[in-house]
Amino acid sequence: MDDDGSAALEFIAVGVVLLVPLVYLIIALGAIQEQTLGAEAAARHTARAIALAPDAENAELSGERVLASVSEQYGIDPDSAEVSVTCTPEVAACPSAGATITVVVAAKVSLPLIPAIFGLDEAASVSVEGTAVQKVSRLWGGG
């Protein structure tokens, strides 16, 4: 039996077979981490913008602008992101003076290199969520 030179070829073949999934895993985890940080930042900055706005009308506009800006920076699809804003204690108007605002931003991360045929991109997606809580001043909206 003549095995001259086959060890190097086998080493390269096995190395490539093991390296390709490892590289894909690193890329996928990087994408998930980016979107997770983006959802967290979007929630935090949106809650802060709402709490620091002078009144309810400006709070909504400010929150939408901040959310759009952070979503763009982190590559979050604004159409697929779900945002919920709640206040504690529950009052007729949210936000209100003295309330605690909770902002939750949820998004889906599509894994890289998954084709959009037969719904594979939806099946191969990971949900991420960011939550932030911000206290509104007792003097909020007073002038």
Under the banding of pLDDT at 50, 70 and 90, the label for residue 106 is very high
| For residue 112, pLDDT beyond 80 | yes
Least confident range of 22-26, 71-75, 94-98, 139-143: 139-143
Under the banding of pLDDT at 50, 70 and 90, the label for residue 128 is very high
Under the banding of pLDDT at 50, 70 and 90, the label for residue 10 is confident
Q: How far apart are CA 10 and CA 13, in angstroms?
A: 5
What's the pTM? Answer: 0.81
| For residue 3, pLDDT beyond 80 | no
Q: Dihedral of CA 84/90/94/100: which sign?
A: negative
* pLDDT tens-digit map of 18-40: 899 999 999 999 999 999 999 99
Q: How far apart are CA 8 and CA 11, in angstroms?
A: 5
Task: Give the chain's mean pLDDT.
Answer: 88
pLDDT of 22 reads 93
pLDDT of 66 reads 94
Least confident range of 25-29, 84-88, 125-129, 136-140: 136-140
> What is the percent of the chain where pLDDT is above 90?
50
